[in-house]
Amino acid sequence: MIHVPTHPALHIAFDLAAWLAGAALARGLYGWRLKDRIAEAAAKVGPGYFISLGVGAVVGGFLAGSLVSFVGPAPTLSHSVAGVLAGAIVAVEIYKVVRGIRGSTGVAFTGALTLGIAVGRWGCLFSGLPDRTFGSPSALPWAVDLGDGIGRHPVQLYESGAMALFLAAYVAGLAARAPWALRRGFYALCLAYGAQRFAWEFLKPYPALVGPFNLFHILSGGLVAYGWIYWRADLARERGAQERALPVPGPDHQPLRDLPGAGPGQDRQ
């Protein structure tokens, strides 16, 4: 068991580091690979997009977090990253439907969100038990003691590591100019985040809501479903655009050998 020194104020320090690191990465990716894609997305949206995103993120974050933290002997107001992501997605997709906007508009946020989660989860670990993000008791050699003498799964680090791996894959995809990273990176993030979060929720002591699943299982499953459905829809649009762009053979493509008067050897150019 590993003893971890904790203090609630450390969460603020890591949150600040997460914001700064995310902003720096977003700026770097913009200049490196994403300038055209971000310009394309920005041309589709207006101020209402960012208002919807902000309101959805705040409401979703505090609603999801507080629904869990209010259960127990010491109810308290809290927020959740999964709730922030889910709330922002719902609000933005409603806005896009109303405005008739199609395609992914989250390209600017993919790298920043991923790195922010990877860094921020260390703050959850070092803030200790009051953060209420700790794992279930465990006897594994890497179990952490957050101050109560009980070894627990370091689920915060599991999540941080999983998102770091996704970030590495995403950057590699951008380097190769892979369509999934350039066009559907945000949907890939939702798939990856939702899947790994769903798995780690089995290692947390949150109350079950439906069968063995807690609220964050449901949110995580929703993120996976969203990422998959919208990924497939965007892929279909991409294929449709490619098919429409294919040249249609016309008279100019007719071989010379098929033209009147063309003799042997006259069709070679």
- Tens digits of residue pLDDT in 144-184: 999 999 999 999 999 999 999 999 999 999 999 999 999 99
Per-residue pLDDT, 78: 77
**What is the model's pLDDT at position 269?**
46
Q: Where are the domains of the chain?
A: 2-239
Distance CA(171)–CA(162), nearest Å, equals 14
Taking only the tens place, the pLDDT of each residue in 99-130 is: 999 999 999 999 999 999 999 999 999 999 99
In this structure, of 22-26, 211-215, 237-241, the range with the lowest mean pLDDT score is: 237-241
HEC string of the chain? CEECCCCCHHHHHHHHHHHHHHHHHHHHHHHHHHHHHHHHHHHHCCHHHHHHHHHHHHHHHHHHHHHHHCCCCCCCCCCCHHHHHHHHHHHHHHHHHHHCCCCCCCCCCHHHHHHHHHHHHHHHHHCCHHHCCCCCECCCCCCEECCCCCEECCHHHHHHHHHHHHHHHHHHHHHCCCHHHHHHHHHHHHHHHHHHHHHHHHHCCCCCCECCECHHHHHHHHHHHHHHHHHHHHHHHHHHHHHHHCCCCCHHHCCHHHCCCCCCCCCCC
What average pLDDT does the chain have?
91
Q: What is the pLDDT of residues 44-102, one digit of tens each?
A: 999 999 999 999 999 999 999 888 776 665 667 677 999 999 999 999 999 999 999 99
- Confidence (pLDDT) at 241: 84
Q: What is the pLDDT of residue 145?
A: 98
Residue 81's pLDDT is 93
| Position 243 confidence tier, pLDDT thresholds 50, 70, 90 | confident
pLDDT at position 73, please?
58
Angle between helices 215-245 and 179-200 (to 10 degrees): 160
The arithmetic mean of pLDDT across residues 18-42, rounded, is 97
Q: What is the pTM of this model?
A: 0.89
Name the pLDDT band for 214 (thresholds 50, 70, 90): very high
Q: What is the pLDDT of residue 179?
A: 94
More confident residue, 185 or 254: 185
CB-based contacts of 67, cutoff 8 Å, min separation 6 = 215
